[in-house]
Amino acid sequence: MTLYVLSIIHNYRNLNNCQIKPRKRYEEFAMPQIMTTKELAKYLKLHEITICKYAAEGKIPAIRIGRVWRFDKEAIDKWISGGQKK
């Protein structure tokens, strides 16, 4: 019986000594902001057809999903600031 109680106390002390890391908040997880052709056209102040044309030619970083184009805002911002081709 005494040995059992000592093992419980030992386990309890080990639990108290372990450091629990705080959970990450929702804001800390980086989720890419994906933009539609219409949203990007408004953001860049260009026509939607021009955006689609640039995406098809590979002049602007884009992903084609089925029949529609999608754009990562962060990649677009890097493309603008760096004057990158793709």
SS (H, E, C) the chain: CHHHHHHHHHHHHHHHHCCCCCCCCHHHCCCCCEECHHHHHHHHCCCHHHHHHHHHHCCCCCEEECCEEEEEHHHHHHHHHHCCCC
Q: For residue 31, what pLDDT band results from cuts at 50, 70 and 90?
A: confident
Q: For residue 2, what pLDDT band results from cuts at 50, 70 and 90?
A: low
CA dist., res. 77 & res. 60, Å (int): 11
Contacts 24+ apart (CB under 8 A), 5-9: none
List of domains in the chain: 26-86 (1.10.1660)
| Selected residue with higher pLDDT from 79 and 11 | 79
Reported as a single tens digit per residue, the pLDDT across 42-85 is: 999 999 999 999 999 999 999 999 999 999 999 999 999 987 55
